[in-house]
Amino acid sequence: MKVKVGIMSFAHLHADSYAHCLKTNPRAEFVGIADHDRQRAQAKAEQYGVALFDSYEALLASEVQAVIICSENAKHAQLAQMAAAAGKHILCEKPLMTRLEDGKAMLAAAQGAGVHLFTAFPCRFSPAFQKMKQLIDAGAIGELLALRGTNRGSNPGGWFNDLELAGGGAMIDHTVHVADLIRLLTGQEIATVYAETSNQMFHGNYDDTALLTLTLQNELFATLDASWSRPKTFPTWGDVTLTAIGTKGIIEMDMFAQYLLHYDDRAGRIKQVFWGDNIDALMIDEFLRVVAGEPRCVIATGEDGYRAAAVALAGYESVRRGEPVTVSYE
Amino acid sequence: MVKVGIVGLGTMGRQHMDAYLQMPDVEVAGVYDHHPDRAEAFRQQYDVPVASSFNALLECCEIIDICTPTYRHAEYALPAIEAGKAVVCEKPLARTIEDCERIAEAVHKHSTLFMPAHVLRFFPEFRMAHQLIRNGAIGTPAIIRTRRGGDFPITKSDWYADFEKSGGVILDLIIHDFDWLRWTLGEVERVYAKALTFRKLNHLDYTLVTLRFQNGTIAHVEGTWCDPGGFRVTLEACGDAGMLEYDSAQQVALRLATRADEGSAGGVQVPESPAVENPYYLELRHFVDCYKTGATPELTVTDGVEAVRIALMAIESARTGRVVKR
**ipTM attached to this prediction:** 0.92
> What digits encode the pLDDT tens for the residues A96-143?
999 999 999 999 999 999 999 999 999 999 999 999 999 999 999 999
A250 Cβ contact list (under 8 Å, min separation 6): A141, A243, A244, B224, B226, B227, B228, B229
Q: Considering only CA atoms, which of B288, B275, B274 is closest in space to residue B21?
A: B288
pLDDT recorded at residue B171: 98
* Percentage of residues in chain A having pLDDT higher than 70: 100
Q: Looking at residue B262, what is its pLDDT?
A: 67
Q: How far is B192 from chain A (nearest CA, A)?
A: 8
Distance from CA of B208 to the nearest CA of A (A): 7
Which residue type does A201 have?
A: M
Q: Do residue A201 and residue B227 have CB atoms under 8 angstroms apart?
A: no
Instruction: Report the distance separating Cα B312 and Cα B171, nearest Å.
Output: 7
CA-nearest residue to B143 within chain A is A209
* pLDDT for residue B156: 86
Residue of A nearest to B202 (CA): A247
| Percent of chain A residues topping a pLDDT of 90 | 99
B267 pLDDT above the threshold of 60? no
What is the distance between the terminal CA atoms of chain A, rounded to a whole angstrom? 40
> A234 contacts in B (CB within 8 Å)?
243
Distance, in Å, from the CA atom of A227 to the CA atom of A210, rounded to the nearest integer, reads 5
Reply yes or no on whether the pLDDT at B73 is more than 70. Answer: yes
* For residue B141, cis peptide bond before it (omega within 30 degrees of 0): no
| DSSP bridge pairs for B234 | B147, B247
State which amino acid sits at residue A330.
E
CB-CB: which of A146, A209, A324 is closest to B321?
A324
Please provide the average confidence, as pLDDT, over all residues in chain B. 95
Asked if the model's pLDDT at residue B270 lies above 70, the reply is no
Is A194 within 8 Å of B192 when comparing Cβ atoms?
A: yes
**Are B143 and A219 inside 8 Å of each other by CB?**
no
Torsion on CA atoms A159, A161, A167, A173, rounded to nearest 10: 100
pLDDT of residue B35: 94
Q: What is the pLDDT of residue A326?
A: 98
How far B304 CA lies from chain A's nearest CA (Å)?
26
Residue B56: pLDDT band with limits 50, 70, 90: very high
CB contact under 8 A, A247 and B204: yes
A312 alpha-carbon distance from chain centroid: 12
- The residue-averaged pLDDT of A288-301 equals 98
Distance CA A31, CA B166 (A): 66
Distance, in Å, from the CA atom of B139 to the CA atom of B237, rounded to the nearest integer, reads 10
The rounded distance, in Å, linking the Cα atoms of A63 and A31 is 8
- Check CB contact of B200 with chain A, cutoff 8 Å: no
User: What pLDDT, in 10s, does the model give residues A141-163?
Assistant: 999 999 999 999 999 999 999 99
Cα A43 off chain centre by: 24
Longest dimension (CA), chain A: 59
Best A182, A201, A319 residue to mutate vs chain B (most B CBs within 10 Å): A201
Strand order in the sheet with B188-195: B242-247, B232-239, B141-150, B218-225, B205-213, B188-195, B324-325
For residue B235, the cross-strand partners are B146, B246
pLDDT in tens, A223-242: 999 999 999 999 999 999 99
Count CB pairs under 8 A between chains A and B: 100
Q: Helix, strand, or coil here: B12?
A: helix
Q: Under 8 Å CB-to-CB from B290, ≥6 apart: which residues?
A: B113, B115, B296, B297
pTM of the model as a whole:
0.94
Say whether B145 and A225 touch across the interface (CB within 8 A).
yes
Are residues B201 and A247, on separate chains, in Cβ contact within 8 Å? Answer: yes
The pLDDT of residue A218: 84
Residues of chain A contacting B210 with CB distance shorter than 8 Å: 194, 196, 211, 213, 223
| β B86-90/B63-66 pair status | parallel
Helix, coil or strand: residue A21: helix
What pLDDT, on the 0 to 100 scale, is given for residue B269? 60
pLDDT band at B264 (very low <50, low <70, confident <90, very high): low
Asked if residue A2 has pLDDT above 80, the reply is yes
**How would residue B105 be classed by pLDDT, with cut points 50, 70 and 90?**
very high
Q: A13, A73, A24, A82: which is closest to A48 by C-alpha?
A: A24
What is the torsion angle, in degrees rounded to the nearest 10, for the CA atoms of residue B83, residue B85, residue B88 and residue B93?
30
Confirm or reject contact between B208 and chain A (CB < 8 A).
Answer: yes
Return the pLDDT at B259. Answer: 81
Q: Is the peptide bond before A122 cis (omega within 30 degrees of 0)?
A: no
Contact B194 A229 (CB under 8 A): no
pLDDT > 90 in chain B, percent: 90
How close B209 comes to chain A (CA, Å)?
9
Type of residue found at B2: V
pLDDT-derived band at A67 (thresholds 50, 70, 90) equals: very high
Residue of chain A with shortest Cα separation from B241: A231
Q: Is the pLDDT of residue B182 over 80?
A: yes
Residue B25 is classified by DSSP as: T
- Ranking A185-194, A249-258, B37-46, B256-265 by mean pLDDT, the lowest is B256-265
Interface test with B, best of A150, A198, A326 (most B CBs within 10 A): A198
Assess contact for B27 and B60: CB atoms under 8 A.
no
Contact between chains at A247 and B242 (C-beta distance less than 8 A): no
Share of chain B above pLDDT 70, in %: 97
pLDDT at A104: 98
